[in-house]
């Protein structure tokens, strides 16, 4: 099963780990050379250095026979472009991170599954723990 990951951010890192552990073949597209090289050091996967919108890059990534494309970059514009191109190449599963909640609807409109602002989600979880902790603390 072939997965294309766009953007070597922390979420992308763990995703690659996960996917490879489950037997996926992963291709990474990352514009920053150093970030790309770091991933290359840890995984023997195909790494393409360039922006997802660049002319032939998705063709090089063999997008035609990809089963899924995940956009985890830091820039919503890039993520959005990745989803649109994914649609063009008729990739079945398209998933993205939206860094800002303002953009969530855009992703949904083009049929991509989206997780909005992971930082906020984690922060809320953390707050929940803090809240629970301070409440039981004050009861004692």
Partner 1 sequence: MANQSGADFWRYTQTVLRDIGLLLHIPGLMALISLPICWLAGEGYATGPFLLTALVSIGLGQGLYRLFKGSVEAQLRHAVVIVALSWGLIPFLGAIPLWGVALTGLDIPSITLDHFQDPINALFEAFSGFTSAGLTMALDSGQLPYCLQWWRSFMQWIGGVGVIVLVISVLEPSTDPYQLYNFEGRQRLIGLTLRETVRRIWWIYGLYTIGAIFLFRIAGMPWWAALNHAMSAIATGGFAITGNSMSAYGPPVQIAVIVVMILGAISFTIHAQVIRQRRVSALWKDSQHRLLWLLLGFGGLAVLFEKYWFVDRLSGLEVIFQWVSALTTCGFSSADIGSWSPTNKMLLSVAMIFGGAAGSTVGGLKLQRVASLFQGIIWRFQRLALQPHQMMRYELDGEVITEAEANRRVESAAVLGVLWVTAIFVGVVILRHVEPYRYTLADILFEVASALGSAGLSAGLTGPEMPQMGKIMLMVFMWMGRLEIIPVLALLIWPLNTLRRNVVVLRQYIK
Q: Residues in the site for partner 1, rule: CB under 8 A?
A: 29, 33, 36-37, 40-41, 44, 46-50, 54, 56-57, 60
Alpha-carbon distance values, 123 to 75, 111, 118 (Å): 20, 27, 8
Distance, CA of 63 to CA of 65 (rounded, Å): 5
Distance, CA of 99 to CA of 86 (rounded, Å): 19
Alpha-carbon distance values, 18 to 26, 38, 99 (Å): 10, 17, 21
CB 2 within 8 A of CB 66: yes
CB of 39 to partner 1, least distance (A): 9
CB of 10 to partner 1, least distance (A): 20
CB of 11 to partner 1, least distance (A): 21
Nearer to partner 1, 16 or 112 (CB): 16
CB of 55 to partner 1, least distance (A): 9
CB 16 within 8 A of CB 28: yes
């Amino acid at each position: 099963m072939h997965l294309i990951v766009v953007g070597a951010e922390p979420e992308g890192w763990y995703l690659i780990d996960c996917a490879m552990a489950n037997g996926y073949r992963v291709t990474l597209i990352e514009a920053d050379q150093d970030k790309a090289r770091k991933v290359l050091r840890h995984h023997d996967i195909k790494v393409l250095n360039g922006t997802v919108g660049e002319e032939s890059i998705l063709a090089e990534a063999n997008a035609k026979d990809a089963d899924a494309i995940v956009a985890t970059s830091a820039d919503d514009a890039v993520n959005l472009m990745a989803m649109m191109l994914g649609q063009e190449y008729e990739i079945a599963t398209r998933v993205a991170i939206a860094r800002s909640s303002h953009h969530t609807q855009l992703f949904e409109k083009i049929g991509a599954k989206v997780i909005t602002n992971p930082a906020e989600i984690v922060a809320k979880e953390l707050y929940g723990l803090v809240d629970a902790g301070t409440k039981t603390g004050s009861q004692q």
